[in-house]
Structure 1
Amino acid sequence: MASGVEELLDMLFEMIDEAKNAPLSSDKCVIERDRALDLIDDVRSQFPIELSEARKMMANRAELVASAKREADAIRKAAEDRARQLVAEDTITLQARQRANEMMQQAEERSRDLKRSANEYCEDALRRTEEAVAEAYDEIKKSRARFRAAAGVSAAPSAGTGSRPMYDAAADED
């Protein structure tokens, strides 16, 4: 069994491309309907996997943000502990406050940098996933249109034929 959406679409394309011409026609061909529909069903079943990957990326983003917050909290706590020690010593109280403020600023800046980096990474990963899913969906619609055109099938299923109902991607867009 094929593993990815692209591989399944390649198999569908190859099936249509290698199909024998219909008698007395150069632009129509004969393909195995069940096999083509099975490939399209396999493509549909792969979409939840692609969406699952996007969810994993979102979870990774949340984990990165949480990790950055934990690191910032640890740095802040260390800065506060250090500041308390310095405040206890009357002679260097001013220096302790200044150093604690610097450490707090550094921790906050580091936290912002980590959060921004995590957001940029997740945004890029989600954008690429969205593009891949959209591209695969467009390819499916094109393949179905070519299949229908090649098979001479109308968009609406004929009543009483006992055949499998056809999926109408154009209706989904409305």
Structure 2
Amino acid sequence: MAENDVNRLIDMLYERVEDAKSPALKPNLSMVDRDEVLDLLDELRNQLPVELKRAQELLAAREKFVDEAKRDVERMMRQADLEAKSKISDSEVLYAAKEKARKIIADAEDRSRQLCQVANEYAEDALARTEEAVQAALTEVKQSRSAFRAASAAKLQEQREKLEAERKTAEETGN
């Protein structure tokens, strides 16, 4: 659900920038509601720790599974060792028990490796998606900031030129 929230917030930011109105005579510039965009960015910032927490929880679950698998393997080895010792007089039974224990250990190790790989891939994917979402949001913020600066500088220059023209007009009329 948090992933959808992050994507929804990014989509909303994108829509705000895309739907932004252009000032007269400046079609390549857009004006956005600064408070609205900042609110969306705050929401996005609040959602990202949820994604990171989910990835950390997954890693912790993987660690727990690996520890449990190791304990199970040790338990099975002890059990196999006890069974083997109790039947030491019969070499075929002993061989079969050791072989069974080896197979159980090999199967548990294979399963543990597979689960670790799946958990790592999922965590990597979740972190990559989070990184992409953060990067996209940062890029949009930088673009909005750049557009704001350009619009602000243009407006300031326009006001300076207007004041200069009024001053020259006043000097020419003798006021």
TM-score strictly above 0.5:
yes
1:122, distance to aligned residue in structure 2 (A): 1.8
Aligned residue number for residue 56 of structure 1: 57
Counterpart-to-counterpart distance in 2, 1:23 and 1:123: 52
Counterpart-to-counterpart distance in 2, 1:100 and 1:80: 8
Residue 115 to residue 153, structure 1, CA distance change in 2 (3 Å): farther
Identity %: 26
Q: Does the Cα contact within 8 Å between 1:22 and 1:30 map onto a contact in 2?
A: yes
Aligned residue number for residue 75 of structure 2: 74
Alignment of 1:84-103 (within 5 A): 84-87=85-88, 90=89, 92=90, 94-103=91-100
Query: 2:139 corresponds to which letter in structure 1?
Result: K
The size of the alignment, in residue pairs, is 149
Aligned residue number for residue 22 of structure 1: 23
Aligned residue number for residue 173 of structure 2: none
Alignment of 1:1-174 (within 5 A): 4-87=5-88, 90=89, 92=90, 94-152=91-149
- Give the TM-score normalised by the residue count of structure 2: 0.76
- The structure number with the bigger radius of gyration is 2
Query: 2:97 corresponds to which letter in structure 1?
Result: A
1:96, distance to aligned residue in structure 2 (A): 2.8
RMSD: 2.0
Please, which runs of 5 or more residues in structure 2 have no aligned partner?
Answer: 152-175
Query: 1:126 corresponds to which letter in structure 2?
Result: A
1:153, distance to aligned residue in structure 2 (A): 6.1
Please, which runs of 5 or more residues in structure 1 have no aligned partner?
Answer: 155-174
- Give the TM-score normalised by the residue count of structure 1: 0.77
After superposition, give the CA deviation of every residue in 1:127-161 in whole Å (9 maximum; x if it has no partner). Answer: 1012112211210121112211332369xxxxxxx
- Select between 106-115 and 25-34 the one with higher mean Cα deviation: 106-115
Q: Does the Cα contact within 8 Å between 2:52 and 2:127 map onto a contact in 1?
A: no
Counterpart-to-counterpart distance in 2, 1:99 and 1:137: 56
SS in 2 for 1:29: coil
Which 4+ stretches in 1 moved above 4 angstroms?
none
Residue 7 to residue 153, structure 1, CA distance change in 2 (3 Å): farther
Counterpart-to-counterpart distance in 1, 2:72 and 2:25: 73
Counterpart-to-counterpart distance in 2, 1:7 and 1:151: 24
